[in-house]
Structures are given as structure tokens and as C-alpha cells.
A and B are shown apart, each in its own frame.
Chain A
Amino acid sequence: MKTPLRALLSLAAIGVTALPAAAQIGNPSVSSTSAVQNVFCEKNLRSTVTRVSKTVLPSGYGDLKDVQLNSDFRYPSNDLPFSQAMAMNDPVTGQSVAVLDQNFIPGGSKVFSSWGRYGITIGGYWFYRTGGGFSTPIGTFIPFEADILWISDGSSFLVVKGCNGRFSVTKEVAEALRNYPSGKNGYIRFSTEGTGSAVLSEIGKETVTAWKKVYANWTPEAPPKVESLGF
């Protein structure tokens, strides 16, 4: 009984090794036995493609300004309003609603955060001053990206793990931010890549108020298009 099964497995193995000729495109140096999954990457790194649907905004955001994100890295737009909910139109990922916040010491360290419906970004830079007295003071800016975020949620708190300064928004995270008491400043705690300490940072009260719009309870639903309604 075992022999036919073994024969079948070895046949399958032959099939697999015989196949990858087509997968060699762009990576001729990799042997045909190991490159089935890797078309472009060496060292057995797995290359993947993930398809994600673009997001759309439901009705109910008629009062928000729309920002078309069309300034690429060469011409960064620094004029987006802070602490105000906005509808963001990203040419790559689709529509979202978000509020931007910043917390800084003038001429010093800065924490920048973006609170989007589907993702949160926290980053900034620390400012260190050395020297002074009899020597020339030297200021150094060290950029950082947060990787763990603490959010207060009533009698408990959420620990959200992310990477490269980015965090996914789950239903639980959205609920905690939506229910944050408005009318006063909020607080978050975060730690940055490579450090164990968690920094406390203040969030402006307008941003806290805007969380109620950004994380409002709705199920994803594409609103009807004007052109379809009008024709």
C-alpha cells in the first residue's frame, strides 16, 4: 500500500522540478530546482502580490473637504490643515477619511500622526542638542517611526503593534478612538523602532473631536454615482 503512494509522491516531485522553466524569467542564475516561487528575488525570499480593493467613502461626508493627493515626493504639500477631518483621495489606494495631528516643541522634537479610517501613521523626529557653553552647540534631528501604540479605551487600553510607523485600524481600534471623550486633549503612548521606552504624546482636542467623524460607525458601501443617477 505504501509503495504506490511513494511512487505517486515521487511523480509529483518530478512534476514540480520539471515545471519551473517558465519561472526562470529575469532570474537566470538561480537553479531550476529552487526558483519556483522566486522570479526576481534571490536568497529564497518569497515575492508576493496582494490584490486589495480600493476603498470608497459612503454618503454622510458631504461637509468635508476633499484632498486629491497628487503631490509626489518632489513637491510635498505642507499646507494640509491639521486637526480637521478630510476626505482623502489617494490615486493608488482609493478614498478615505482622515485627520492629521502634530505635537511639537518649536525648533525641537516633533510627533506627527495621521489618523485614517483604515490606517494610522505615527512618526517624526527627535531633536538633540549637544555642546554649548564654550563650544558651538550642535543640533541633531533623528527621525523615528513608531512600532507599538497604546490607546486608552475606557477602563482598559489597547496595545497595537505596527511596523514602519504604520498601524492597521481594526473595529476595536476604531471604536476606542470614536468613544474617546471629546472636548479635551487626548493622550497616546508609543514606542519607536529599536527602543523599549514608551513616549507619552498629547493629541489636540480638535483631533479627538474629528475621530468621531473619521471612525464613525458605518459599513463599507459604495454610494451611487452622480452620472448613473443623472442618466
Chain B
Amino acid sequence: MRKSLLVTASLFTCLGSLPALGQSARSVSLDQRVAELKEARSLAALCQQEPQVKECQFAIGEWKAAELERVKLESPDCFDQCMLDVFGFYKDPDTSREIPAVRTKDFDGAAPSRGFEVTFYPVAMRVLRYEGCAGCALIYQYPTKVTARINGQSYNMPILARGGYYVPSGLRRAILASPSSALVLDAHTTEGQFKVNISAKALNAYAEMLRLLKYDQVL
């Protein structure tokens, strides 16, 4: 009797864990779908095509409209762009689409119009460099390669679009684990290599965005 109970219990345990096993076998990280993301042209479109991507399953985006609306209640919304180093939803003036982002700058103290502007989105960032000089035309350029360094670890960032780079899950995990650490971007441009320092304030705001949009549960 005891033996049969044990067998039944172990059978139930096995059967109970089967869906979880199946799910984990089917789930893939977005890191493995970067090319597909580019092809789909938006994360929301990819999540409709491939719902087994972990970021689509756990995180909140336009594919989870009701939950996204609740997150919007917890952060400022602004037209065109929000304040620097603050997480907020900015409204695209053309489409009125509300996009979560953190915008930050690392400008040269000696030449205030020269430096980098970085905008963080949940799984991507835009990096651009202003050449800047008094009385010049506004010339800027996008780096051709960006590498992120945090806590002694380096992360290569795949190019998604002109000036747009994918933020790999490892980097997101590192930022969530220690949002006050120094994040440095090594940006390669045709003018040379530059070091971009991301402030702790901006990084904390990015970590807050990831947490509110439940990207911490993906990792």
C-alpha cells in the first residue's frame, strides 16, 4: 500500500512538472532572436509572431495592453521627450505612441555642445555623438560599434539600426543587480574611439523601468 502510494505520488510529481519542462524547453531568450527582431521591425510584432520568447512571456509591452496601462500610472508621461535621467513614457508627437525611455547625456565639460546622448529603451539603446563647436552646423554621428562595461564584465551590443543597439539580457541582469555601478560604453566612430560614462542616476532610472515592466522576471 505504502509502495503504491509512493509510485502514485512520484507519477503526479512527474506529470505536474511536465508542462513546466515543456515551457522551459520551448522558451528562448530574446538574445537568440535579435535577427528576427530586426526583421519583425518591432518588439511588439515579434512577440505576436513568437510568443515563446521569454521577454514576451514575462515582460510587459504593447502585447499586454492592460498591464502596460497600469505601469503608465506609475511614471510621468511627456510629449516628445522626458527630462534627463528620469524614467517616463514619452509621446511620439507624430503617432502619439507612448514609449518608455530614459534619456541621458555625457557631454564634455569644456565644450558643452560636444558629447554623447544615450536613450535607453527596455531592450535597446540609441547612442549618438554630437561633434559640437560654437557656430558650427549641428553635426552628429552614430557609432559603428558599442561595447558596454559594468562590474569588470564586457558586453558586445549588436547593431539593430542606425545608432540603435540591442541590450543583451546579461547586461540587463548586471544593471538590475547593481544599478549604482559605473556603466561605461566604448563607442567606436569614424572619428575614433570614445568612452561614454552613464551616470548612476540614469542607470537607476533604467533599472526602475526594467523592474516596472517586469524585465527582472525574465532573467
Chain A positions near chain B (C-beta within 8 angstroms): 57, 59, 61-71, 75, 77, 79-80, 223-231
**Which residues of chain B have C-beta atoms less than 8 A from A69's C-beta?**
137
Q: Which residues of B contact A65 (CB under 8 A)?
A: 131, 139-141, 190
Q: Of B133, B138, B190, which is within 8 A of A68 by CB?
A: B138
Considering the chains assembled together, what is the distance between the CA atoms of A63 and B131 in angstroms?
15
Option from A59, A67, A75, A228 in Cβ contact (under 8 Å) with B162:
A59
- Residues on A with C-beta less than 8 A from B125 are 226, 230
Interface residue tally on B, bucketed by range:
35 or more
Q: How far is the CB of B94 from chain A (nearest CB, A)?
A: 11
**Contact partner, B126, options A68, A71, A224, A226, Cβ 8 Å:** A226
A225 to B125: give the CA distance in the assembly, Å: 11
Cβ A67 vs Cβ B138 within 8 A:
yes
Tell me, yes or no, whether B179 is within 8 Å of chain A by CB. Answer: no
B166 CB, min distance to chain A CBs, angstroms: 8
With A65-B131, A227-B101 already in contact, 10 other A-B pairs whose C-beta atoms are closer than 8 Å:
A59-B161, A66-B128, A66-B142, A68-B138, A79-B137, A224-B41, A226-B126, A229-B37, A229-B160, A231-B121
Q: Collect the chain A residues with CB atoms within 8 Å of residue B37's CB.
A: 229
- Cβ A229 vs Cβ B124 within 8 A: yes
Interface of A: prevailing SS: loop
* A65-B140, A67-B137, A68-B137 given; A226·B99 CB < 8 A: no
Interface residue B77 (Cβ < 8 Å from any Cβ of A): no
Q: B138, B160, B162: which has the most chain A beta carbons within 10 Å?
A: B162
Bound-state Cα–Cα, A227 to B159, Å: 13
Q: Given A59-B162, A61-B162, do A228 and B41 touch, yes or no (CB 8 Å)?
A: yes
CB A203 to nearest CB in B, in angstroms, measures 23
B147 to chain A, nearest CB (A): 16
B141 touches A230 (CB 8 A): no
List residues of B whose CB falls within 8 A of some A CB: 37-38, 41-44, 61-62, 92, 99-101, 119, 121-126, 128, 131, 133, 135-142, 144, 159-164, 166-167, 190
CB pair A226 B160 closer than 8 Å: yes
B142 neighbours in A (Cβ, 8 Å): 62, 66
Contact check, A226 vs B124: say whether CB atoms are below 8 A apart: yes
B161 and A79 form a contact (CB under 8 A):
no
Instruction: Report the separation of the CA atoms of residues A226 and B157 in the bound assembly, to the nearest whole angstrom.
Output: 14
Pair B38/A229 contact, Cβ less than 8 Å = yes
By beta carbon, the residue of chain A nearest B59 is A231
Contact A224 B43 (CB under 8 A): no
Instruction: Determine if B99 and A224 form an interchain contact, defined as CB atoms under 8 angstroms apart.
Output: no
Cα separation A175 to B87 with both chains bound (whole Å): 48
Closest to A225 in B: B161
The interface residues of chain A lying within 8 Å CB-to-CB of B144 are 62-63
Cβ A77 vs Cβ B122 within 8 A: no
Q: Give the residues in chain B near A228, CB-CB below 8 Å.
A: 41-44
Q: How far is the CA of A75 from the CA of B135 in the complex (A)?
A: 8
Chain A: CB-nearest residue to B92: A227
- Whether B140 and A68, one on each chain, are in contact in the complex, defined by CB atoms closer than 8 angstroms, is yes
18 chain-A/chain-B pairs, Cβ below 8 angstroms? A65-B141, A66-B139, A68-B138, A77-B136, A79-B135, A224-B161, A226-B121, A226-B126, A228-B42, A229-B160, A230-B124, A230-B160, A230-B167, A231-B43, A231-B62, A231-B99, A231-B101, A231-B124
